[in-house]
């Protein structure tokens, strides 16, 4: 069997809000199909320090708005912060959500639950953002 590892793509996004979640599942599923990989893993990674990647419910959008509201209220600016850019809350959110997710590829399909979508997390928008997607497998 010919090795197919090495598929690497970049997704470009323009975010519109300060904090928001963008569903990138379908772009990623297309890349899995295009790669021809049947058996492996996929890494979604964003190269920004005030953004993240998360997997959560893709059905009711109020789940994302509740998460957004909760983190906005619970990770606010603090008078003791010293970072002059003023966006330390965005950096904290990035470390707590983390900048990547790893997903199984089995029988040529991304293995996600029925209600799971993959989301780019904007924590300091609006901005132009990138997400890297790497597939390794056969």
Tell me which residues touch its own copies (CB under 8 A). 3, 5-6, 8, 39-41, 43, 45-49, 54-57, 60, 62-63, 65-67, 69-71, 75, 78, 80-85, 88, 91-92, 94-104, 106, 111-116, 132, 134, 136-138
Per this entry, what is the length of the chain?
138
State the minimum distance, in angstroms, from the CB of residue 126 to its own copies.
18
> What is residue 110's three-state secondary structure?
strand
Beta strands in the chain (DSSP E): 7-14, 20-23, 39-45, 51-57, 100-106, 109-110, 116-122, 128-137
State the minimum distance, in angstroms, from the CB of residue 26 to its own copies.
18
In the complex with its own copies, which residue's Cβ is closer, 18 or 99? 99
State the minimum distance, in angstroms, from the CB of residue 65 to its own copies.
6
What does each C-alpha distance from 132 to 43, 45, 68 come to in angstroms? 8, 5, 23
In the complex with its own copies, which residue's Cβ is closer, 6 or 36? 6
Interatomic CA distance for residues 55 and 115, integer angstroms: 10
State the minimum distance, in angstroms, from the CB of residue 113 to its own copies.
3
């Amino acid at each position: 069997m010919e090795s197919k590892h090495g598929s690497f793509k970049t997704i470009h996004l323009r975010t519109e809000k300060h904090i928001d979640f963008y569903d990138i599942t379908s772009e990623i599923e297309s890349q899995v199909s295009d790669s021809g990989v049947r058996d492996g893993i996929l890494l979604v990674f964003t190269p920004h320090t005030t953004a993240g990647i998360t997997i959560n419910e893709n059905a009711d959008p109020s789940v994302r708005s509740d998460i957004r509201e909760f983190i906005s209220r619970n990770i606010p600016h603090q008078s003791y912060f010293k970072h002059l850019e003023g966006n330390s809350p965005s950096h904290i959110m990035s470390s707590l959500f983390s900048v990547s997710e790893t997903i199984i590829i089995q029988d040529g399909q991304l293995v996600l639950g029925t209600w799971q979508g993959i989301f780019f997390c904007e924590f300091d928008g609006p901005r132009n953002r990138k997400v890297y997607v790497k597939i390794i497998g056969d």
